[in-house]
Amino acid sequence: MSSLPRIYRIADPADWKSAQQTGFFASADLAAEGFIHCSEKHQILETARRYYAGCPEVLLLEIAEDRLTEAGVRVEREWMAARNEAFAHVFGPIPQAAILRVLAFTASSNGQFELPAELHEG
């Protein structure tokens, strides 16, 4: 499927619905900051805890980084001092062809997120 790493975006369902109409995923952070915040697989749960607590339903987009590169969309890992690690930033709308899977990502009754079962494969 994809030879380069996959990156992940926790997405508002409304943004995904818009992507299905336009063919490109974009979110408010692209307009406000010039890039779309993404995470590596091991960063997803902490990102959800910090920024999506109280959100009843969000989606998790699995993105093929090599498909972004092929589409001419720049991805850079930038150091975030607040988290003491680098995060993938996507500098442009994400073409639907780069999105491998859209997974349901909901918090449990206690408000905690768990990785979707599909991400426990391999």
Contact by Cβ (8 Å): 23, 31: no
CB-count exposure of residue 116 (10 Å: 0-12, 13-18, 19+): middle
CATH superfamily of 6-113: Protein of unknown function DUF952 (3.20.170.20)
12-36: average pLDDT = 95
Residue 80 has pLDDT above 70, yes or no: yes
Residue boundaries of the structural domains of the chain: 6-113
The tokens for 41 are: 């697989």
Name the band, by pLDDT with cuts 50, 70 and 90, for residue 1: very low
Q: What is the CA radius of gyration of the chain?
A: 14
- Please, what is the Cα angle at 44 between 16 and 96, to 5 degrees? 30
pTM higher than the cut 0.85: yes
The sheet that has 6-11: what strands, in order across it? 6-11, 57-64, 99-106
Summary mean pLDDT of the chain: 91
Residue 122 has pLDDT above 60, yes or no: no
Residue 4's pLDDT is 58
Nearest residue to 90 (alpha-carbon basis) of 48, 47, 37, 23: 37
- The 10s digit of each residue's pLDDT in 52-69 is 988 878 999 999 999 999
